[in-house]
Amino acid sequence: MAHSADQAPVPRRFARSGPLTGTIRVPGDKSISHRALMLSALCVGQSRISGLLEGEDVLATAAAMRAMGAQIERGADGIWTVHGVGVGGLMQPAQALDMGNSGTSTRLLMGLVASHPITAMFTGDASLSRRPMARVTDPLGEMGAEFNASPGGTLPLMVRGISPAVPISYRLPVASAQVKSAILLAALNTPGTTTVIEPVATRDHSEKMLKGFGADLTVETDADGVRHIHVTGPCDLTAQDIEVPGDPSSAAFFIVAALIVPGSDLTIENVGMNVTRTGIITVLEQMGGQIERLNARTVGGEPVADLRVRASALSGITVDPAIVPSMVDEFPVFFIAAAMASGTTVTSGLDELRVKESDRLATMARGLEAIGVDVEEREDGLVITGSGGASLRGGGPVATLLDHRIAMSFAVAGLASEQGVNVDDTAPIATSFPDFLNLLDRSTGAA
């Protein structure tokens, strides 16, 4: 996958804007899009996917599934069709699987390869090649797969799968939907019952979709509220028609932009409202954000709603660390909301942000300093004293370090700044939200 790391950076200045108004739609959910391709590729027969996110990360998953035997095509109508190979039917890829910038593709596909009798080499861009993989190779190794990682347990990394693999019972040491999902996907082609014990609930798209595709999956919650997820394999999956709802993580940039730019009144249609994903809305509402949920309905087995967001006076808060897993990707843009609030916002329990596309605590702290925001970086969170609704100073340049969410967050900050915000590279935005700049220009009236 050609990625921005290989290309010249695309800097841009985001100027102070007028209100965000009108009605927009954000692209399909990234987590659900990856899983839709992977699970369809494991069915015998044809699945159809509408609303698939066509960002670089998801295209990396599509390319990898093709390299392992699935037929995947995009129709002129935007509907994707997948002819799968069946559970157990993945073929040895002829070349290294280039995962680009995508942690989700890498970790989930390692799970799939682990219980097939094939060998695959995983490579990625400079950002992905720094991210920890032992969190998946440890449990998948217990199942019998073998790994040859680069020093530090990173990519490039060779996975030698095994069939039959051995079922395990694994308690997640870190709250991670990617680790959970890697094990559940490996379990599909593993005879017997594999159990993942999840002390802290994370996004549950894998569980919901695996059940929807007919896998033998059950979830029990014990007396301490801990989830035990069991998959009994080998399972056959049944081809599906899937409709991917809009991505709440992408909507978050427009929610914050509409809250902080005076006079805004913006409606974002078709946003996924799965409670394992909506922590950002809860926290912004606690700060005084006016976010109305309209037309609540179900799309593709997931709750969705249209969100009407109006500019609001925000007050700083202390964020309960228990909510972190349900907004783990939204902290960069949440910090921009905090920078515009009155008073101080305190966050903690954010250690995982240090191992995302960039170290998001350090990258956000440096960027906020560069645009004149009062920020203190702690080991596991940021403390931000906001402007009380006054425009941010702006400036920069802000270093995005191959991190799409950093680029989009500072684009939003620019809209509420005196001097504008210079972002050093907007190319990474294509990993999750290729149409972001157009939508932003349209909703601010700049286009």
Ligand X SMILES: O=C(O)C1=C[C@@H](OP(=O)(O)O)[C@@H](O)[C@H](O)C1
Q: Which residues bind ligand PEP (CB under 6 A)?
A: 57, 102-104, 329, 356-357, 405, 432
Cβ nearer to ligand X, comparing 317 with 327: 327
Q: Tell me how many residues contact ligand X (CB under 6 A).
A: 10
Shortest distance, position 33 Cβ to ligand X, whole Å: 9
Which one among 113, 155, 177, 283 touches ligand X, defined by CB under 6 A? 177
13, two tokens:
């200045």
| Tokens 């805004």, residue located | 264
Given a contact cutoff of 8 angstroms between Cβ atoms, the answer to whether 111 and 83 are in contact is no
**Strand, coil or helix: 318:** strand
Is 329 catalytic? The answer is yes
Check whether 178 is labelled as a binding-site residue. yes
C-alpha span between 29 and 52 (Å, rounded): 8
400 binds ligand X (CB under 6 A): no
Check whether 103 is labelled as a binding-site residue. yes
Measure the CA angle with vertex 422, ends 60 and 427; round to 5°: 15
Which one among 101, 181, 278, 422 touches ligand X, defined by CB under 6 A? 181
Cβ nearer to ligand X, comparing 308 with 356: 356
Interaction partner, residue 208 (ligand X, ligand PEP, none; CB < 5-8 Å by kind): none
Q: Which stretch binds ligand X (CB under 6 A): 2-10, 174-182, 391-399, 437-445?
A: 174-182
Given a contact cutoff of 8 angstroms between Cβ atoms, the answer to whether 62 and 36 are in contact is no
C-alpha span between 447 and 439 (Å, rounded): 9
DSSP label at residue 374 = E
Check whether 417 is labelled as a binding-site residue. no
127 binds ligand X (CB under 6 A): no
Shortest distance, position 359 Cβ to ligand X, whole Å: 14
Q: Which of 329, 403, 424, 425 is catalytic?
A: 329
Cβ nearer to ligand PEP, comparing 306 with 357: 357
Given a contact cutoff of 8 angstroms between Cβ atoms, the answer to whether 66 and 94 are in contact is no
Nearest residue to 247 (alpha-carbon basis) of 444, 51, 22? 51
176 binds ligand X (CB under 6 A): yes
Given a contact cutoff of 8 angstroms between Cβ atoms, the answer to whether 424 and 447 are in contact is no
Q: How many CA atoms lie within 13 A of 151 on its CB side?
A: 0
**Residue numbers 2-61 binding ligand X by CB under 6 A:** 31
In the chain, the N- to C-terminal Cα span, in Å, equals 30
**Strand, coil or helix: 271:** strand
Cβ nearer to ligand PEP, comparing 130 with 293: 130
Element (H, E) at 155: strand 154-160
443 binds ligand X (CB under 6 A): no
Binding residues for phosphoenolpyruvate are: 30, 103, 131, 178, 360, 405
Residues in touch with ligand X (CB under 6 A): 31, 104, 176-178, 181, 203, 328-329, 352
Residues acting as catalytic residues: 329
Binding residues are: 30-31, 35, 103, 131, 176, 178, 329, 356, 360, 405
